[in-house]
Amino acid sequence: MYRNRLTQKLKEALKAVIPIMAVVILLSFTVTPMPGGVLLAFLFGGGMLTVGMMLFSLGAELAMAPMGERIGAKVTKTRKLWLVLGLGLLLGFMITISEPDLQVLAQQVPSIPNMALILSVAAGVGLFLVGAMLRMLFGVPLRYMLTALYAAVFVLAFFAPKSFLAVAFDAGGVTTGPMTVPFIMAFGLGVSAIRSDKHAYTDSFGLVALCSIGPILAVLALSLIYSPQGADYSAFTAPEIESSVDLGRLFLQALPRHLGEMALALLPIMVFFLIFQFVSLKLEKDTLLKIGVGVAYTYAGLVIFLTGVNVGFMPTGAFLGKALAGLDYKWILVPIGALLGYFIVRAEPSVYVLMKQVEELTEGSIGGRSLQLSLSAGVAVSIALAMIRVLTGISVLWFVLPGYALALGLSFFVPKIFTAIAFDAGGVASGPMTTTFVLPLAVGACIAVGGDIVTDAFGVVSMVAMTPIITIQILGLIYKLRGKTEVAEAEADMYTDIGEYEIVEL
């Protein structure tokens, strides 16, 4: 039944993974010779990455999207505002607290208790998901909310300790991972479906963008409360692999941990969905069976994917960073970082979820290929800038402050749907591939040049989340100037007068 879909997903995964593997292999045979064990782990991890992406993308299509849409639509149809907002808060909190990347972030901040950080970030995501739902229901323009919220972020940033600026901005990226993004985006579709105007679906974008701001504010606020001093981070080290037995042992040791992590990540969503099924949804057995199969694919895909990238890609990234920054011509780290960034974003699982939703909701007016090229260009620029930071020690604020100012300025000139897609894409682009390959690359390079890991290497996730916002909005500006898209015209009409919205009566 699913053979044809699996074949299609396999082709998509191979197109995403092969380029980045080819670049790394080329580097290993030229400027950065690798130990045989590290290269073998990378190749094996690449195979697991391909299989994991294939299974995850099919599972997200079969299970995560239908579950999120049905829950969102059913909750909104109750016309009870307190119920809509309360469940939105609970949903955002539960999904975030089980996001594996958040657990990793908490361990990197020793001055703040792990649970305090996790609960605060989860509460931030829950509150901002509520704000995003209110925006959809009442038609509040996204650009005004983003401008006000990012202004608050940068005001807090000037008072926060310098050592926590990078981790605070990184927090916005790690909490919108492969578990959170598909479900939240589908949930937004379900909520927006209750609106009766024909452009309601385009307003479903922006949830990920708003949910990415909550963690930044939470970490900045906590850094003021706890007054952290001397916070340190653990560096990545490449494992010693002397034989195929050592290689197999590494992957087998990591597998149970990811089996448990993904089970805990899926459990809140499944409990949430089953409660709705028994209380309200009452879906037929065939639909439930299809969703169950999709959940199994999602679980297996994420376990295989995360095992592959954590064991195979993390040590490779750290080794490449040290080797490139240790060369006499260490400036080569900048163009190679850009090349790696161009291809690495294509292997992010949630990118395909976003591309599919954009193509469907805009009826092809915004093509998936043009969106992917814009994402790749943005991430290429971000990794290049991150490598410049590593080599020079420039503060992350000198990049994110003008970067977000430019992004917010563009939002007043481009079609509004491009702004929503762009800010969502920032959260989508900064997924597990960034944290397990690009971040170790930056840390390895920082160690080689003798820099400060806290201030110079960390922050790369925030850079990856920022630049796609600019490049996708530039794409929207090009579409508008060429008059190529009906979406631009429809969006202009829709936002001309906010009173033209037919607001949901709650």
Q: Read off the pLDDT band of 51 (50, 70, 90).
A: very high
* Average pLDDT over every residue of 410-436: 84
Residue 151 has a pLDDT of 92
Q: Lowest-confidence range among 187-201, 240-254, 320-334?
A: 187-201
Q: Per-residue pLDDT for 4 more than 70?
A: yes
Per-residue model confidence as pLDDT tens digits over 133-143: 888 777 788 88
Q: Which two tokens stand for residue 196?
A: 């009766």
Share of the chain above pLDDT 90, in %: 18
* C-alpha to C-alpha distance for 326 and 338, rounded to whole angstroms: 18
Q: Per-residue pLDDT for 112 more than 50?
A: yes
Residues 6+ apart with CB under 8 A from 360: none
Q: Per-residue pLDDT for 439 more than 90?
A: no
3-state helix, strand, coil in the chain (%, to 5): 80, 0, 20
Q: Read off the pLDDT band of 240 (50, 70, 90).
A: low
Give the chain's mean pLDDT: 81
Q: Could you tell me the residue ranges of all domains in the chain?
A: 11-236+246-500
* 3-state SS class at 199: coil
More confident site: 66 or 385: 385
CA angle, residues 19, 313, 389, in degrees to nearest 5 = 85
Q: Per-residue pLDDT for 494 more than 50?
A: no
Q: Which two tokens stand for residue 29?
A: 């045979």
Per-residue model confidence as pLDDT tens digits over 153-188: 999 888 888 777 877 888 887 777 776 777 777 777
Q: Lowest-confidence range among 67-81, 218-232, 266-280, 408-422?
A: 218-232
Share of the chain above pLDDT 70, in %: 86
* 3-state SS class at 109: coil
* C-alpha to C-alpha distance for 380 and 287, rounded to whole angstroms: 41
* C-alpha to C-alpha distance for 122 and 402, rounded to whole angstroms: 28
Residues listed for the chain: 506
* Average pLDDT over every residue of 5-16: 84
* C-alpha to C-alpha distance for 492 and 59, rounded to whole angstroms: 35
249 residue type, one letter: R
Distances (CA, A) of 408 to 80, 147, 214, 473: 33, 6, 17, 10
Q: Per-residue pLDDT for 189 more than 70?
A: yes
Residue 390 has a pLDDT of 92
* Average pLDDT over every residue of 416-436: 83
Q: Which two tokens stand for residue 480?
A: 């508008």
With CA atoms as reference, report the closest residue to 239 among 254, 258, 228: 254
With CA atoms as reference, report the closest residue to 459 among 439, 445, 441, 444: 439
CA angle, residues 345, 212, 419, in degrees to nearest 5 = 70
Phi-psi region of 348 (alpha: psi -120 to 50; beta: other; left: phi over 0): beta
First to last CA, the chain: 42
Owner of token pair 């909104």: 76
Residue 231 has a pLDDT of 47
- Inter-residue contact 349 to 314 (CB < 8 Å): no
Residue 296 has a pLDDT of 92
Residue 500 has a pLDDT of 36
With CA atoms as reference, report the closest residue to 311 among 43, 20, 102: 43
- Inter-residue contact 399 to 456 (CB < 8 Å): no
Q: Read off the pLDDT band of 431 (50, 70, 90).
A: confident
CA angle, residues 192, 195, 198, in degrees to nearest 5 = 95
- Inter-residue contact 427 to 211 (CB < 8 Å): yes
Residue 239 has a pLDDT of 62
Helix intervals (H) in 98-243: 100-107, 114-138, 142-157, 165-174, 180-192, 207-211, 213-226
492 residue type, one letter: A
219 residue type, one letter: V
* C-alpha to C-alpha distance for 348 and 345, rounded to whole angstroms: 5
Q: Lowest-confidence range among 211-215, 240-244, 391-395?
A: 240-244
pTM value is: 0.81
- Helices 460-482, 486-496: axis angle to 10 degrees equals 100
* C-alpha to C-alpha distance for 201 and 417, rounded to whole angstroms: 10
Q: Per-residue pLDDT for 236 more than 70?
A: no
Residue 367 has a pLDDT of 72
Residue 338 has a pLDDT of 94
Q: Which two tokens stand for residue 378?
A: 């943005």
* C-alpha to C-alpha distance for 259 and 254, rounded to whole angstroms: 9
376 residue type, one letter: S
